[in-house]
Every structure is written in C-alpha cells, then in structure tokens.
Chains A and B, each alone.
Chain A
C-alpha cells in the first residue's frame, strides 16, 4: 500500500500555512519536508535537512529567494535548492552537485500538494471546482490513515454551524486517501471533502475543504463547529489507535549527494550540456540586448552571483556571458549582450540573428568570479557592459541585506543596461556618466582611497579600466585578495613561441609543448580532457595546479600575488619559463 501512496499526490500544507518568509515544517510518508513560498510565489518543497550537518531547514531563514540554514549558514536557491554559498569557504563557489532534494508542488483548493514520486496531476474534485471553498482547520491525529478514513466516513455536521442541528449526510465518494460527504438540512446542502495526509505509519492530518463559504459570523461559527467535531473524532480515533497494533515508523530514504569528482569529458573541447529557449529578447540600452533563456528540459542548474555560461551560437562561435539575475530569481538565465563594434560574429549573431523562441545550446554555469558574503562592505565597480555579473552580485547583496555600493561607469543615461534593475537597487547605485579616461582614473582613485579591513572590491569592465583600477589599488596598498577582477578578454599579448615539456603527475605522462601550440591543445591532442571556456586567459576555467616548475603567466585571471606564487596556471595561454612543468592532472 505504501508503494501506491508514494505515487499519489497528497496535500502537505494549506496555502495559509505559508505566510511571508515563513518556513513550514511538514511530513509525508515518514519524510520531513521544509516548505516555503519564495518572493516570486514559487512554493518550494524540500527535504527538511541541510546537506551539511543534517540540521532541519525549517528552523532556517528565508530572505525571499534563498533559504539559509541556521547552523552554519549554507544557502540554497529558490526553485532548484542548489547551494549558492558556504560561509566557511567565502571565496569559493560551491560545487554544482551540492543540491538539496526537491519535491513537486501544486496549489489546488487552497492546499499545497506534493508527493514522493507522484504521477499525473493532483485529484480534481468536481464539488470543489469553481466553488467558493472554505478551508477547515487541519487536525493532526496520532492514528494511521485507514483508521482515520474509516471514522470520517461516519462524520456528521451541521450546515449552519449549530451543533444541535446535525444534518443527514450521504457519502459522495471514498478512495484510499479522501472522501466526500454531503449534508442536507431544510433543503440546504453543503459538501465537505476530507483529504487525509499520511504523515507516518501512525500519524495523519485531516484536511477538510467545504464546497461553500458562509459569510460573516456564520463563517467563524462553521469553522468552530468543524474544529470541535473533528477534535472529538480525533480523540475517539486516537483511543482506538492505542488498542491497535503498534506500527513501525516509516523510513524515508535520504539520498547521498554525489561527491564532486572532475567530469570525465570527451576531448572535443567546450561542452554545451543544456538546451534553452530564448524567452524574451529586448533592447535594454544603447547597443545592448537583454536575453532571457528558459530551459526546454530539466530545470536550469543553480547559478551563483558572478557566474557565466558559454553560449554556442548558430554560426558555430562560442561566447561567454555573465548571468545578471540573482540566484533563486526565476528558473531562467538573464544575459546582457553588447554589440561590439569590431564583432567577429559573436555579439552580432545574438543581436541580429537570434530571436525569441530560438533554441540555443549553452554550458552549465561556471563561477570563476565568486562573491564573498562576509565582507563588511562590498564595492562593485562596473565599466559599461561589465555591469552584467555585478548586477547579479548587487541583487544578491541587497536580498541578503549586506552593505554594498554599485558604481556604474557609462557614457550616457541611454547606455545604462537593465535600468529597471538599477531602479530597484535604488540608492546603492552611483552613476558616473560621460567621464574621460582621466576623470575615470580620478573617480577610481577617490573610490579606492585606502584599504579598509573586510572590504571587498569587484571590478568588471573594459581592459584599460581594469588595468587602471589594478594600478590605483596597488598604489593605495589594497591587498590583492580584496580586489576581484573579471575581464571580458585577455589584454596581454600572448607569446606562444617557447617550447617546453609538461609532466602530468596523475596521468603518468610526459608531453612536449612545441612553439605555436598551447598546453590545452597538446593535452587534448593526447586524449586528456580539460574544462575550458574563453580559451584566451580571461575566465579561469582551464586552471590547473602546478606541482613543480616555473609558469610563464600570460593570463589576466590570476592576480599578481597568485602569479608570483606560481601554484596555478591557465593552460589555454600560459606557458613555462623552466624547461619542464609538473602539473596535477
């Protein structure tokens, strides 16, 4: 019987159980659930268990789009339940595999329906369709489902709420988890449908819905009448259950989170694991289009602020774009794409060819520009279209009520992308419009006047602006680890004339890198797959750990101290100063 209950939809809460930012604690077939309504009205039904230490998420906090565990602050995104932030590792992006278990949810008749592996749709009850329904107070009973149903079949009630005037009732239907009774009295009719939620082998919740909703004082009278009658029924059922056989509690299987191992990929280069449809495309600023991408298959994986995706364009090109929406905001990815004057076909294709309804292949989101959420203050500095990852960060910081400013350098008002988001962010946005390079430097110098403890700076914009920021920050003694850069493209002229040897410690293989070829290419030629994205030393995806040897860095992803340490290398552009590099692959 349990098997079939697993495949049914059950009511697990009522809509009124999910007020603003409340996390409801529920249970179905032995499994505890954390149920919460996000600010976009999506009802999340999750395993009530943090993936870290198993703490109940129902004692956590909702900030509207993310739920934060009370114990060590792990955050999970609305809809996907993917982990977006781990406070103990503030500088790192959580692995994509850290995703809590979710269950489907449907609202119907004022109830929230879910199930273990439900098939089809929640039941449609003719008496409740298009009716002004009234939800009765739900009654938790320490008794098994069948016993409760058996007693409910003989339930009598008064149409007016007057306990001395019980009506004759007739049963409309009964199935394994619900039944419907119609009372007739003085020519008036009232139907009550009871759904019994199997909480555990010996616990149930009676959820009653009336097919009519009395007005005024009679409404409260009716609710009190049913509450009293059902409480009486509960007392009888519970006494009977005490005499019944003692039942073992149901055991819900808890799924293990797969350990994040490096993906085994084919050596064909960049992967486009996801298919999305262009839901909306619009001009958001001078020369900038906004694109909203919606999954056409499984829900999109959780992204974190700062993340980007590869977009595989119809013309065969692959381009990287940052996601501008905050985690938990919709089950879509939002991009801002600027038409580059010297477009080699990437931005032009998205501007001119791609239209609403088109299907695109994209990679899963990667985050090489993770946002710390432990800073006392965060300064976001955007140059032009560099605002895209910073918008996601700004909205996240706003949702988390953390102190931040977004400084947006642009030519004119008309060049400001996503003005509706900027409006929402309000006073945290500081605009710097129409500044010359010198004036920009002055403004940056003022912004970066002196390093402050626990303050972090995130910068994204055109190369010269980033170089200026790097120089100004260094002159003002900002530590490298407090300033985070994201480049559109590599500004360093890559010299690939050297030749050297790479030894792969884990693969037990030594390969020759000739002049004119990159480490990444040589690895791929020899059947060793590495993740990559921009393949020009800007995004950080193809990073590998260096065990021995001296790298010749030609990327803009690592900062100066990381380059000096020589422990990591971007295999798409960087090479070796020493005759040999030993890499941890």
Chain B
C-alpha cells in the first residue's frame, strides 16, 4: 500500500489525499509533526527528503517527493481511464503541464500566505497576497471563458485533470492566508465543481458543497 508522509493541514499533502481518494487508491498516512514540531526539517526526515518538504510517497519502495510530481505519478499509474493525466493528447498534456506550473505559482503565493498566517513561516505576506491576486485574476478570466464554451475545467477537455487537483487546494484555502475570493465568482463556481467530483474528500477548512443538478435537467454544464 502507498505510504504518504503526511500532515493534515498541508495543502500539498491534501492534493495527494484528494487524488488518491478520487482514484480510489488505498493509502496509509504517516503523520509528520509539521507544526509546531518542524519534524520535516529534522535530520531524521532529511534522510527521506533532503529538501525537508512533505509530502513524500513510498509506493512499495518507490520514493517520490514534490506534490505536483506525485500527482503525475499517481494519475499515470492508477488512473486506467488516462483522463487525469492525458498523455495520449499532445495539446491537453501541454495544457496540463502549463497549469501545473501555474499551480507552483498559487502554492508559492496563496498557500505561502496561509503558511505565514497559520503555521509560523516567515514570508513577505503582502507580496504573497498581491501575487495570489494577480494569478487569481488570470484564472478567473480563464475559467469564465471556459464556462462560455460550456467547459468547466482548467484544461480544455471535458474532464478534470491533475491540474485542477493541483490548483484547487491553494485556491479554496486562500482566505486563511487573507486572500479573499469575493472578486472571483467564476473561480468560486469552479471550486463547487471540483467538490462535486466523485470521491472528493474535504480537509479542515474545506467544506462539502450542495448537490449538482440532477442528470434529468441536463444542459447546464456549469451547474
């Protein structure tokens, strides 16, 4: 079974738990005392990941670190549909890579602001927040136009990809870092859609959402 070096309040660990839950992959969580213990910075843990970051997964001896790399691995190995990481479609895989890099941006701004506020990290909080808003504006416009084409996800396919999973936690927890989402209505609607993906699991600070429109009332892809 996959082991994940995990912390309940970490967005990057949550990305893996969410992905594994959606793909219905059983896993064992090994809790790391991230705060206030700084266990991920301990000499002991640096033997597992010299960068001193979580998550790290151990899939039957195969070790992998870095949240977005793990998503690539999980989707490639455990998604028989091939939709979450669409390697057989050059445009889509390109877009997926592009938005995975965008997710690095949201992690380093919105989620960094949250680390600063909640978990005692020292960052330039105003720069983090301004950076998050800059990215959210881009994503807001992008998702609004997706809706105009009756599409609901970050990449241009009809199905969500690992890019949605990579960006969603940074967005949905942004208010904890003082980055309000009131100016991003299309972004808020997209978070509702992500929460309705079968297998969705919450974490502290992320709540479930109301139901999707029943199938019999088809025709509103945005619902």
Contacts and interface: CB of A to CB of B under 8 A. Distances in A.
Contacts, number: 64
B211 interface: yes
Contacts of B184: 140
Nearest to A67: B210
B213 to A, nearest CB: 4
Given A22-B210, A61-B210, A223-B148, A140 B188 contact: no
A20 interface: yes
A213 interface: no
Contacts of B149: 220
Contacts of A363: none
Residue from A24, A62, A137 with most neighbouring chain B CB atoms (10 Å) = A137
A70 interface: yes
Nearest to A25: B182
B214 to A, nearest CB: 9
A373 B200 CA distance: 25
B116 interface: no
A25 B181 contact: yes
Interface stretch (A11-19, A310-318, A337-345, A499-507): A11-19
A63 to B, nearest CB: 6
A16 B209 contact: no
A440 interface: no
Interface in A182-228: 203, 205, 220, 223-224, 227
A20 B223 contact: yes
Contacts of B145: 137, 220, 223-224, 227
B contact face: mostly helix, strand, loop, or mixed: loop
B209 A61 contact: yes
Interface in A25-78: 25-27, 32, 59, 61-64, 70
B210 A63 contact: yes
A231 B141 contact: yes
B202 to A, nearest CB: 11
A534 B141 CA distance: 60
Interface string B199-215: 00000000111111100
A220 B209 contact: no
A140 B180 CA distance: 13
Interface string B100-118: 0000000000000000000
Interface residues of A, number: 29
Contacts of B181: 25
Residue from B184, B209, B210 with most neighbouring chain A CB atoms (10 Å) = B210
B141 A137 contact: yes
A369 B143 CA distance: 47
Given A26-B182, A70-B207, A19 B189 contact: yes
A25 B208 CA distance: 17
B220 interface: yes
Nearest to A13: B185
A17 B185 contact: yes
A21 B214 CA distance: 11
Interface in B44-63: none
Interface in A330-349: none
A134 B71 CA distance: 40
Contacts of A223: 145, 148
A16 B210 contact: no
Nearest to A23: B210
A22 B182 contact: no
B110 to A, nearest CB: 17
A19 B141 contact: no
A21 B210 contact: yes
B222 interface: yes
Interface of B: 141, 144-145, 147-149, 181-185, 188-189, 192, 207-213, 217, 220, 222-223
The 5 A-B residue pairs whose C-beta atoms are closest, nearest first, are A21-B210, A140-B183, A20-B223, A20-B213, A62-B210
